[in-house]
Structure 1
Amino acid sequence: MLRPSAADAEWSSVDLPHDWRLGMTPSPDHQHPKDYAKAWQGFFPTGVAYYRKLLSLDRGPPGQRTSITFDGIAGFSDVWFNGFWVGEMASSYSPLSVDVTEILRAGDEGPNVVLVRTDCREAEGWWYEGGGIHRHVWLDTWSEIHAVSDSLHVRTPVADRERAAVAVQVEVLNESPDEAKIGLVTVVKDPETGQEVARTNTDSRVSVSSCGMVTLATEVQISNPKLWQLGKGGLYTLEAHVVDVVSTHFGVRTIRRAKDGILVNHQWTKIFGANLHQDWSVFGVALPDRVIEQKLELYAELGVNTIHSAHHAPTRELIDHADRIGMLLLLENRQFSTASSSLEQLRWLVRRFRSRPSVFLWGIENEEMDYQGTRVGAGILTRMVKEIKSLDPDRDTIFGGVVAFDDKSYYSITDVVGMHYRSFFGVLDVAVDYVQDKPHVLDEEGHYASVRGVYQYDKERAHAGSFSHLGEVMMDTPEPASNAALMPPDFNITGNIASDLTTAYTHPKVSGTFVWTALDYIGGPIPLRWPATTTSYGSKDLLGLPKDYYWLLRSLFRRDEPLVHAFPHWTWPGREGESIPFRAYSNCEEVEFLVDDVVVSRERVNTGLVVVLDGIKYAPGKLVARGYKDGKAVAEHRQVTAQKPARLMVDTDRSVLSVSTGGNIDVAFLRIAVTDEQGNLISNAANRIKVTVKGEGYLRGTHNGDPSTDNYTCCETFQAFNGFIGAYVASGSSPGVMTVSVASDGLVGVEVDILRFAVTVIPASTIANKEHISNTP
């Protein structure tokens, strides 16, 4: 494994990032950790995998140093370089950087061999965590006198429309054999033009001994700065010139606490938040940068202004995109411990992201029930708060609390009181009155399971429906599962999801709420049993397609946009004359229902939900739900009875891709629907659909959004689930045209839609002295 040999052909070639577990078939028969629910990891197998890379490197100019940085390796990992064991990491979510300067081979000494062992047999979380090298890998070079990694810290102690004071601090390490004198030059560039807007030089040079470190600090003034804003972003670039140049993005903005929201640049807003897991459909946990962007775009479309990275550090690429689009972030620490390795991971998290304008809150722990409210837990929490404040005095701290109300002192340790499911359990008023001198945030709330296009609980497929009762969803489930839209009246938890979330997001003493969750994610299925492999908590499925529940959240997050969404669909062959249970989500005052232009019901909206108690008699044709405010029609939802399946319809999120280079592929998403001749969705269609790609690109994967599927890998033909499949296509390494066609033998008179992708070169942003490590033969 340490040198090239005849056995090299036994290795499989893969591209990084890579998740080997997603290519395996989930099964309840796989081995899992003791006392750990198999369903939590989606019934995927665990195990040990090795990755190897041959690297030809130059030694570089005298004094150059070289390291390899792994942004994330699933489970427990060990790294060897040319036979030397050089490092380990016991978390999937923290980076591992190894300096290989003295042991690298250059020129005719032969290629360098990087060997990585990944072990995911023990779980770190209770969700699907993937396997392998699932984040980017970087080859870094720097001079002997250089800025310490992640030490550049940018603050804006003064930030208004007239002036910004930008405080800069950076640590410099001297790894040369001699004492050196160094200075600091800082340059600020405009977020739109890239032009220099401010510069400062330190008057004196500072001496730093061999193997010594010094901290340099300065302040830059910006006149009439452009403010970073919610939903808009607005970034400056700061360059710190020492010997090498290090840079970071930052934003000029202020965030202050308020009991009923937050003040961003002195403007009040409520936190309309949502939790986010890192995985996604055909990629598992190894997401291309574009897919990370796509997921944030889905959140922004919903009306989310803040994301909670549940329950670990996110990728750097997610932070980058949140900065660009003006999305706030609550970043959560993974390991609640004062062990040296855990504290080091916490320090890394804070140091790396403390300068970013999107980051406004540090989450220290999540549902550590064994320790919340205890002396030991209080000691750990206090120590971790001190660590954070020593590195970042500007941002607040929070923890995800589910303890009983018997230890006020534990809640008082962090700046913000974090609460889970207080509205769900009907005790929100008690919770916010318990600790009255601090702002409150529901960092998890909702807990609603449903499957797109499913209305009643399907026991065989383990599908929760939009009309499911909690008791039904819990059938044959060893642990409690989820509330759904309705519950038995004698159940001791709040009645339905609409009133729960309406209370949570509008409560006058709550700064904001994070719904669990906006998107489905792999693992943690509800109900907690086979064949479910994906959770159903999201308002959208793993294709990003909305469920009925999505429209409830949108009506809450975008209250200034009148909305009505009626469900179920209006295609029920064989049920003519039957009464169909009907509901609607709306932020209007009343909703009127019409069948073929005849009013059949008009109902008041009650905390976002309309229930037609007697249902609506089904007759093929047109159903309209019309929303009213102040007696005027302001919103409408139309549904038409679909005829027989006739064609496929395709749309895509992008038409131009960049050439895939350096271990980062560019992708586009295709949504493929089975419709009748007029384009009406066939809501129960299960046709097998073939996706073919020709030219400069390839099919990256297909999925149908079914949470009980056992197939997440790439295949050309995939069965539709309730009318849809989705496909990701990736660009190749050369400019050109990619042609995508879709077809289904099961449809009569199908039209084949052809989409053309002009694959053009779009320069990526450059990172000085840094490059991807991609293929791993």
Structure 2
Amino acid sequence: MQSGEALLATGFADDIDPAIRSRERLDQDWRFALGHATDANKDFGHGLRAFFFAKAGYGDGPASREFSDAAWRLVNLPHDWAVELPFDGRGNTNHGSKAIGRNFPENSVGWYRKAFTVSPADKGRRISLEFDGVYRDSVVWVNGHYMGTEPSGYSGFRYDITDYINFDGENLIAVRVDATGEEGWFYEGAGIYRHVWLTKTAPLHVAQWGTFVKSTVNGAQAYLDIEVAVDNLADADQTFQLRHEVYGPDGRKVAEVETQSLNVAGHKTGLFTAKLAVTTAALWSLETPNLYRLRTLLVKDGAVVDVYNTRFGIRTIVFDPDKGFFLNGKNLKLQGANNHQDHAGVGVALPDGLQTWRLNQLKSFGVNAYRTSHHPPTPELLAAADQLGMLVVDEHRMMGTSPEIKGQLERLIRRDRNHPSVIIWSVGNEEWALEGNPLGTHLAIEMQAFVKRLDPTRRTTVATSYSGKGVSLGADVIGFNYGAQHDVDAFHRAHPDKPAMMSEEGSTLTTRGIYFDDRARSHLNAYDRQGRPGSSLSIEEGWRRVQERPWMSGMFIWTGFDYRGETTPFGWPAISSQFGMIDTTGVLKDTAYYLKSVWTLEPMVHILPHWNWAGREGETMDVRVYSNTEAVELFLNGRSLGRKVIVKDSHLKWEVAYAPGKLSARAYTGGKQVARAEVVTTNVPAQTRLSPDKITLRADGEDVSVVWVNVLDKAGHIVPTASDRVYFETTGPIRILGVGNGDPNSHEADCVADRHTYQNVGSWRSLAVDVIEGRPEWVGHGVDTSGWRDPMQWMPPEAQPPLTKGVVLQGRFDRSVIAAGDKIALFIDQLSPDQKIYVNGDLVSAQSVDGALKIELAAARFKDVNTLAYLLRTPEGGIPGIADRSVGGSKWGTLRVTQSAAPWQRSVFNGWAQVIVQSTGAPGRAVLKATALTLKSSAAAFNIV
């Protein structure tokens, strides 16, 4: 069986002839720039062109093919521009206090442009552009033609762009993204933060997400019911055959079937079924996540015209109202975690490898289920869950039955219903306007019936903060959000036929490595306790209550990871939540070790707090121990403080007078020591250490390594109070994607990038001249151009003046705000091969950059009002011709001021930080180096293959 990463990379699609079906990632080399949410002039003139939205093909500003984006940044997807923005007290604390939203129109719109080619050999095929997710309110143009708008930041969407493709040259995708509005109450990022694909098929093909494999297990045998949707985008009816081949986890064919003489009318979709049997089924489970592949071949006139691969698993799932959840007939408690798509350093733009890494971090303390709160997940998360053996509650964004909401729900179900990891669909979360009234009951029933028509194999749930009325009565499986807010026993007695789960529990508030509250720094001690008394329970109490109720299917902790935003109980300057069992970088907090002690079997023991308390000698410390063994004995500097027996699902506690040295715990089962842990008083910080999760990366420009950064003393112990600032640099074919440290109060940059501001040269005037000379009265600074022609003003053909030998174009721009160290450049057009360019009357030279010309300028040359002048031979067609191609003059001159990115750096928080590095696409040896002012440096070497 292939490795998880290999499967994630290939998606089983590597054996499809691209001449039959191809699906290419369009993630590399997008041009990006910030526009403006309220000022069209600062939004590159978008929306100002005549007939812009009245006529087809009149995309203007960056949506126009003629627009020059040479001055824009080059970025790869996934991309989140919000994570690059500074923190600001005027920002929404629920969104992490980033400088984005209503108060920051200059940061809230982003433009993306990408050029691509399509071979003439693809004529006759259907070509589609697919977006896995754009946050949010995206508008897409292809070759200047409007494709559509998608308001959701989480639903994938697709445009058939066949009719707009230029097969003989370059094609252009332009995407305008407006993140001014918000969908959630948590950090949501901004931009094209998921993958983009270009798909090519024959007119007769399997539809997008067009297969559905339903399995029934009977002893060792499994029966497969297959549904296939076939699109016929040809004019005539089509007759064909479908052949289904099933390949097992080891890659060998285990079953096949063929159906003959099928027919789909022109421009229609047909739905076809088939049945197969797998004689000895390898079930998908948490321990053995066996995956099968369905290979569907569409054959017409003896030739294969389409191949479609579907990954699926064979397993059974049951939510029982009396006994809880069953997987493959085995009763299993859901040990779950809620999570948003947000990670330190990269925001919501997670590389695929980081999805896998995060799931492994959750699995390390016993998590077996993941709730995608509160929106559809990225497809790669589910692929990783399939491969690793992680159960998933797949959640829709909003309750409702309007066409838009139902359309988004349908896309979610069709996209995800073959994933064996998905065990239930969640159609809503804490819909307060619905939870207590009949409309909530009705909508829950309607939505669940709609889901059932799309997927009869799974049940549905709604997560509620109030039960007894409304939504909870209509829920198929009730999801209780926080036991303290419900009388779960009374609800179960009143509705004994309704299965249940704790869809959220905990909401505890802890800061990693902090053991005394420091509210001035937004730090809260890490001891498990009720985070919001009366509304939620401690982690320990919540789990005990679930364990005591066999009918409760399980518990989903709020949350697995800390995330930006929702800074309860603080506002600014706090910038991230503290609900997580692990911090924003993935370092386990002490509460994660409690869960590890009750959710895993491998003997373990954990001590808190750390043992660095200089100045508190003799003070009594609250020492707690988590372990899954029978008993633990605690020692201070070799002296026993007593052995205690562990009460199931609980912890041990000692009151210990602090003395420097070593606090150690020895854990026993059956009288034998089976685990040991210690915390020591460290010396002063002396050195850094880098610990990559892997040192061999694929040279694909996508693979990542997650690198822990620690500050150690001379003895090699992590200093749990260290806060040293560490600087990072790379050599070789790797780049840094982001850094973090898990401090909910840190305003250091997670992601550094050049910051560009743009200013169009405007007030253009033209003068026809008979000689091509740089006369001061034509190209000099301060020339009176009031009597010159406005080149943008349309004139009828009969009013056009006769052509002269030459023409002068002059535009003006004001002095920009320029800080010390800023880089300044003018990007101009190549209007003729022998043109001359003047800036403030001085003849300047330019270098060719991406189809444009770039002039580097010094700040000392700037005046309050500046001029840019072209002197050139009059082109064929005269001024109207070059004006038509100028995109409102913006192509003739754009001033860019660049604030260069700061060096990569991060302060460790309580001894820890993190760096995420990615291969650049070339093979070779690479090194990440860490330096700090008073510490010994360290390095990590990588092989890129």
Pair in the same fold by TM > 0.5? yes
CA displacement, residues 718-770 of structure 1 (integer Å, 9 cap, x when unaligned): 111111111111112111111122222222xx2x433221111xxxxxxxxxx
Q: Which portions of structure 1, spanning 4 or more consecutive aligned residues, are displaced by more than 6 angstroms?
A: none
Letter in 2 for 1:733: G
Cα distance in 2, alignment partners of residues 404 and 324 from structure 1: 36
Cα distance in 1, alignment partners of residues 355 and 206 from structure 2: 29
Cα distance in 1, alignment partners of residues 148 and 136 from structure 2: 14
- What corresponds to 1:10 in structure 2? 71
**In the alignment, is residue 69 of structure 1 matched against residue 139 of structure 2?**
no
Query: Once superposed, what is the RMSD of the aligned Cα atoms?
Result: 2.1
Aligned to 1:151, what secondary structure does the other structure show? strand
**In the alignment, is residue 759 of structure 1 matched against residue 944 of structure 2?**
yes
Cα distance in 1, alignment partners of residues 68 and 201 from structure 2: 35
CA drift of 1:218 comes to 0.7
CA contact (8 A) 1:174 1:208 kept: yes
- What corresponds to 1:199 in structure 2? 256
| Partner of residue 142 from structure 2, selected from 81, 90, 93 | 81
**1:417-496 aligned within 5 A:** 417-422=478-483, 424-425=484-485, 427-467=487-527, 482-483=531-532, 492=534, 496=538
| Partner of residue 540 from structure 2, selected from 494, 498, 512 | 498
CA contact (8 A) 2:506 2:536 kept: no
Cα distance in 2, alignment partners of residues 106 and 23 from structure 1: 37
CA displacement, residues 576-596 of structure 1 (integer Å, 9 cap, x when unaligned): 222223222334454432111
Aligned length: 720
CA drift of 1:206 comes to 1.9
- What corresponds to 1:527 in structure 2? 569
Deviates more, 1:642-651 or 1:330-339: 642-651
Cα distance in 2, alignment partners of residues 494 and 599 from structure 1: 37
CA contact (8 A) 1:260 1:270 kept: no
CA contact (8 A) 1:586 1:627 kept: yes
**1:730-749 aligned within 5 A:** 730-747=918-935
**In the alignment, is residue 255 of structure 1 matched against residue 317 of structure 2?**
yes
**1:334-353 aligned within 5 A:** 334-353=397-416
CA drift of 1:692 comes to 2.0
Q: CA, structure 1 residues 233+331, in 2 after alignment: closer, same or farther (shift >3 Å)?
A: same
**In the alignment, is residue 327 of structure 1 matched against residue 390 of structure 2?**
yes
**1:276-675 aligned within 5 A:** 276-406=339-469, 410-422=471-483, 424-425=484-485, 427-467=487-527, 482-483=531-532, 492=534, 496-558=538-600, 560-603=601-644, 605=646, 608-610=649-651, 612=653, 615-629=655-669, 633-661=673-701, 665-675=702-712
Q: CA, structure 1 residues 60+88, in 2 after alignment: closer, same or farther (shift >3 Å)?
A: farther
- What corresponds to 2:28 in structure 1? none
CA displacement, residues 477-525 of structure 1 (integer Å, 9 cap, x when unaligned): xxxxx34xxxxxxx65677432233223453221111111111112112
CA contact (8 A) 2:707 2:914 kept: yes
Letter in 1 for 2:666: R
- What corresponds to 1:245 in structure 2? 307
CA drift of 1:609 comes to 4.4
Letter in 2 for 1:549: T
CA contact (8 A) 1:589 1:604 kept: yes
- What corresponds to 2:816 in structure 1? none
**In the alignment, is residue 181 of structure 1 matched against residue 218 of structure 2?**
no
CA drift of 1:283 comes to 0.9
Aligned to 2:592, what secondary structure does the other structure show? helix
Cα distance in 2, alignment partners of residues 361 and 10 from structure 1: 47
- What corresponds to 1:712 in structure 2? 750
CA displacement, residues 129-148 of structure 1 (integer Å, 9 cap, x when unaligned): 11011100001111111111
Cα distance in 2, alignment partners of residues 357 and 539 from structure 1: 26
CA contact (8 A) 2:440 2:474 kept: no
CA contact (8 A) 2:63 2:175 kept: no
CA drift of 1:235 comes to 0.5
CA drift of 1:158 comes to 3.4
CA contact (8 A) 1:159 1:254 kept: no
- What corresponds to 1:772 in structure 2? none
Cα distance in 1, alignment partners of residues 120 and 192 from structure 2: 26
CA displacement, residues 687-718 of structure 1 (integer Å, 9 cap, x when unaligned): 11122211121222221111112222144221
Cα distance in 1, alignment partners of residues 660 and 516 from structure 2: 21
Letter in 2 for 1:499: E
**In the alignment, is residue 230 of structure 1 matched against residue 286 of structure 2?**
yes
Cα distance in 2, alignment partners of residues 756 and 631 from structure 1: 44
CA drift of 1:643 comes to 1.5
Cα distance in 2, alignment partners of residues 505 and 52 from structure 1: 53
CA drift of 1:526 comes to 2.6
Which is greater in Rg? 2
CA contact (8 A) 1:43 1:523 kept: no
CA contact (8 A) 1:741 1:753 kept: yes
Cα distance in 2, alignment partners of residues 262 and 519 from structure 1: 24
CA contact (8 A) 2:94 2:566 kept: yes
Letter in 2 for 1:541: D
Letter in 2 for 1:76: D
Cα distance in 2, alignment partners of residues 83 and 495 from structure 1: 55
**In the alignment, is residue 49 of structure 1 matched against residue 87 of structure 2?**
no
- What corresponds to 1:35 in structure 2? none
CA contact (8 A) 1:701 1:729 kept: yes
Cα distance in 2, alignment partners of residues 492 and 730 from structure 1: 45
**In the alignment, is residue 145 of structure 1 matched against residue 330 of structure 2?**
no
Aligned to 1:28, what secondary structure does the other structure show? coil
CA drift of 1:375 comes to 1.8
Aligned to 2:147, what secondary structure does the other structure show? strand
CA contact (8 A) 2:340 2:372 kept: yes
Q: CA, structure 1 residues 61+495, in 2 after alignment: closer, same or farther (shift >3 Å)?
A: closer
CA drift of 1:3 comes to 4.6
TM-score of the superposed pair, with normalisation by structure 2: 0.73
- What corresponds to 1:685 in structure 2? 722
Letter in 2 for 1:565: H
Cα distance in 1, alignment partners of residues 401 and 419 from structure 2: 26
Letter in 1 for 2:635: L
Letter in 1 for 2:290: G
CA drift of 1:456 comes to 1.9
CA drift of 1:213 comes to 2.1
Letter in 1 for 2:482: Y
CA drift of 1:24 comes to 0.3
Q: CA, structure 1 residues 218+376, in 2 after alignment: closer, same or farther (shift >3 Å)?
A: same
CA contact (8 A) 1:71 1:94 kept: yes
Aligned to 1:183, what secondary structure does the other structure show? strand
CA drift of 1:650 comes to 2.2
% identity of equivalent residues: 32
Aligned to 1:274, what secondary structure does the other structure show? strand
Aligned to 2:285, what secondary structure does the other structure show? coil
CA drift of 1:116 comes to 0.9
CA drift of 1:224 comes to 1.0
CA contact (8 A) 1:254 1:264 kept: yes
Cα distance in 2, alignment partners of residues 572 and 207 from structure 1: 78
Q: CA, structure 1 residues 167+45, in 2 after alignment: closer, same or farther (shift >3 Å)?
A: same
Cα distance in 2, alignment partners of residues 212 and 469 from structure 1: 59
Cα distance in 2, alignment partners of residues 2 and 411 from structure 1: 47
- What corresponds to 1:775 in structure 2? none
CA contact (8 A) 2:442 2:474 kept: no
CA contact (8 A) 1:456 1:468 kept: no
Aligned to 1:205, what secondary structure does the other structure show? strand
CA contact (8 A) 2:690 2:709 kept: yes
Aligned to 2:213, what secondary structure does the other structure show? strand
Cα distance in 2, alignment partners of residues 10 and 69 from structure 1: 27
